[in-house]
Each structure stands twice: as structure tokens, then as C-alpha cells.
Amino acid sequence: MESRSIRQLEDGIERDVAGLNYGSYLDLDTLLSAQRPLSDHHDEMLFIIQHQTTELWLKLIIHELRAAMSFIAADDLGPALKCLARIKHIQTQITNQWSVLATLTPAEYAQFRGSLGKSSGFQSAQYRLLEFLLGNKNKAMVAVFAHDLETQAELEAALNAPSLYDEFIRYLDRAGYAVPAELVERDWSAPYAENPELTKVFLQIYRDPDAHWAVYETCEELVDVEDTFQTWRFRHLKTVERIIGHKTGTGGSSGVGFLQRALDLTFFPELYAVRTEI
């Protein structure tokens, strides 16, 4: 039998990789040493990596979302749409991750759940920041991070600043649309309330998309972002239900019930209300 030849390295491949290289550039020593299970159960590694990778993706979503908001504030919708499109793909990625965690059975999770103590995804500062940036403002949540003053200050700043939707509404006002004045300047820390007059603005846009194409396209990108975010929330709920049923969450929440109520929240209410009017 003829033996297979060993594939030779190409002449141009770097062999001396001291200094900056793949591992040092990505700081893999730090990244890959951050998985420290507190039990000896095999599946705790899955649980840790699932949540750590989600936090990395959340970091990128926040990065893209802040860029989109800056572009909209500068009346530059084109680059903002690129950021929003990327966000949708990231959201799809973290939604698909739930199918990996769903391989964890109730019996397996029960063997290391006690090691988590009071830790819970409810305490994710990045998730809370993302909610604030998208417009789900809740002053009471800031107090949860009193143990971390730097994080708390960042959340306070986002709480008291315009959200993505606020920035878009302000753009519409600058572009000459009949946006209600009370939406252009308001208490940004207060939860957004649906305004029928804004629905009329969107109805004008949706009845003649060609005449308002850039704004129309932005509206649909925002709906896509909310839709994929809600899909992520739903998969989270169903994965939790599959693994722990209706037990109380490790952080003290009602678990599935708490996640179910989150599905009733909407970031861009008029963009859904206008669909009934068309």
C-alpha cells in the first residue's frame, strides 16, 4: 500500500512567531484560562462557555449599537444600517447557541447548580446595558450593580441618555417629519410610551416607501433587530423551561415566569402598531 506523503509547510509560512502572534494578539492565555468550574461535574464546562461566549457577543452587539446610534445622531443612515444588519446576524448566532445548552439535561444540571450560588444571567451588566440602549429603561435595575461603581455609572449614563429609538425619532424630527414635540425632548430615563401621533408618521412612510426609502429601510431594520432579539428571549425561556422547569431562578427570580413577561415588552411600539393601520 502506498504511504501518504506528509504535507510540507510552504516556504513562506512564518516559523519564528516570537512576539506578536495569533495567541498573543487574541490574548488566548487569558481567554482560555477563564473557564474555572466550581464542581467536578463534566457539564459545568459547557455551562460556563455558553455564558462566556454570549457575553462576548453581547459586547460586540453593544459596540455596533452605539456606533449605529452615533451615525443616526449625525444624520448618516447608511453606516447605521450596516451596523444594524451586523447586529441581526450576531443575535442569530447567540440564539442558535441555546441549542447547545439544551443538551444539558435536568439531572445533569442539578448536580452542579448549587455551585452557582446567587449568580444569575439577571445580573449581566452587559445585558442590562443592551436593554437600556434599545429603550427598555428601568431605574430600579441600576441598584443591582451597587457593588460595581464603574458599571453602575455606565448604566446610569445609558439610563439618562436617548435610546436607539429615541435617536431615530429625533432624526425624523430633524428630517421634517411631524414628530410630536414631547418625543424629541423628554426624560430619557423614563420608559418609552407608545404615541398614536408617531404611528401616523410611520403610516405616511409605509404608504409610500419609495418616497421615504432610507427611513423606510431603517424602520424595517429596527423591526428586524427587535424580532431577532425576541427570538433570542424565546429560545432562552424554552431552554430554561427544558432544563429546570418552573423552579425559582438562582438569582431569586420566578424563572420561566419572569422570562415569559419579558416577551411582552417591545422597544419600537409604533413600528408594530403601524402594521395594523396599513
Q: Which three cell numbers stand for residue 185?
A: 425632548
Q: Find out whether 82 and 214 touch, Cβ atoms under 8 Å.
A: no
Number of CB atoms found within 10 A of residue 112's CB:
18
Residues 142-156, buried b or exposed e (16+ Cβ, 10 A)? bebbeeeeebbebbe
Q: Which three cell numbers stand for residue 162?
A: 436617548
* Longest alpha-carbon distance in the chain: 82
Of 245, 236, 224, 241, residue with least CA distance to 263: 236
- Answer yes or no: is 206 a known binding residue: no
Task: Give CA 224 to chain center in angstroms.
Answer: 13
- Answer yes or no: is 48 a known binding residue: yes
- Answer yes or no: is 236 a known binding residue: yes
- Answer yes or no: is 250 a known binding residue: yes
Q: Find out whether 227 and 93 touch, Cβ atoms under 8 Å.
A: no
- Answer yes or no: is 243 a known binding residue: no
Residue showing cell 415569559: 260
- Which residue numbers belong to the known binding site? 47-51, 109, 113, 236, 250
- Which residue numbers belong to the known binding site for heme? 236
- Which residue numbers belong to the known binding site for substrate? 47-51, 109, 113, 250
